[in-house]
Structure 1
Amino acid sequence: MARVAFVTGGTRGIGRAICQRLKADGFHVAAGYSGNEAAAEACARELGIMVVKGNVGVFADCQAAVAKVAAELGPVDVLVNNAGITRDGFFHKMDSEQWSEVIRVNMDSLFNMTRQVIEGMRERGWGRIINISSINGQKGQVGQTNYSAAKAGMIGFSKALALENARKGVTVNCIAPGYIDTEMVTAVPEEVLKGIIGQIPVGRLGRGEEIADMVAFLAGEHAGYVTGSTLSLNGGQYMAG
């Protein structure tokens, strides 16, 4: 029987690439989204997957979304916590909403989503939780104290949860992408983009498909011995020890 995967922020960018790959690998796939109806409709139509609307920063939305997926596709076996936002600004000028919104969507969402599926995974003796962190959660970034804090917290969350669930057949891992050729990155001014690429030893942006390849491995049957890990995919820009 095909396993069920739920990818938050799954209708665009890296999330969509992950959904496409998991679908190709035979998973039943649901993609979460919060507001872009056109992108969600296109994703559902073009990839042939379920899409579910909700705000990952709201516990009740996550509860309802997972219930919908379970009712239509079955219990969630693979959860990819990919949804995230940025509200950049220097910390000495940052207001409380810039901070709180990023923490809610990027960090609180880990509890809100994972809490819905963890008991079922433990009971069934199999599960995969894959959290999409960031290079900036590893090294920090000017103007992103909120984002870097949330993405660093994701790594700690993953390590602790991996320890709690290792004997239950549930693995928990992080992927920390560098700069990927999403719409958000490629939309920056050309000179800025050149500067970014100049800092990447391999000399190019990453591709969403490369992140999806790593997710597919971690989501698979052969990754049961990999847990509590943070896998850096950044072209050599930051080499974590």
Structure 2
Amino acid sequence: MRPEVPDVTDPPDGEEYREPRSALSGRLIACGGLLPALLVAAAVVLGIAADPVWFVAVPVVLLAPPFSIAISLLMRNRRTGIVVGDAGLTVGALGAARGAYLIPWSAIDTTRIETSPRLVDAMMRARRIFSPTRYWGVPRRMADFTIPAGVLVPPFARAVLVVELAEATSVVGEPPPPRRYFGNYLNVNSFSRSYRTEVSSLWLVPTRHPDRLALALAEHGFS
């Protein structure tokens, strides 16, 4: 049974479309939340009912690379959302003090909704885009770059809103503070490095309801 993912909420006045938690697919929730939680719960039950040595499995599960990476990516993507309103597109960490951005309609050149995960992957590789919402650490051969504020593609994304801006300076919002990400000596002569987020002309935002989003965009003349 697939985990339930919250559906589109009813938008308040002035908004035609609101999709909170648009990055939380069932697979991401399962890998970063449900599966680790079940394994930890099983270890606790076995520790109580069978042998206390099973309690050792609790930190092992949480710190094991596959699970720690999946949990981290789930937390990074948990607040990502999309709002279509009178003023423009609002994307990013909805409700947060930093990391949410308003893109006025006048600043948008083109929009499209890409439903091929392979094409999205190819786009990110071709442009050498690093996004902490998709990668836990810095990929190879990507040492010198900034993090695009609007590239919010999570793992397992099935549909992505692609927005090309004509005027990036019109975007309203404060990027998150610089953070350290791990290159593990593959990209630079250090274990980790601090990277800052900058507003760019390309925005990639996940959606779980491409048809509904397309209808809302069409109301403003975008297909």
Task: Sort the TM-score into its range (normalised by shorter chain).
Answer: under 0.3
Q: Could you say which structure has the higher strand fraction?
A: 2
Give TM-score scaled by structure 1 length: 0.24
Q: TM-score, normalised by structure 2?
A: 0.25
| Structure richer in helix, relative to its length | 1
Structure with higher Rg: it is: 2
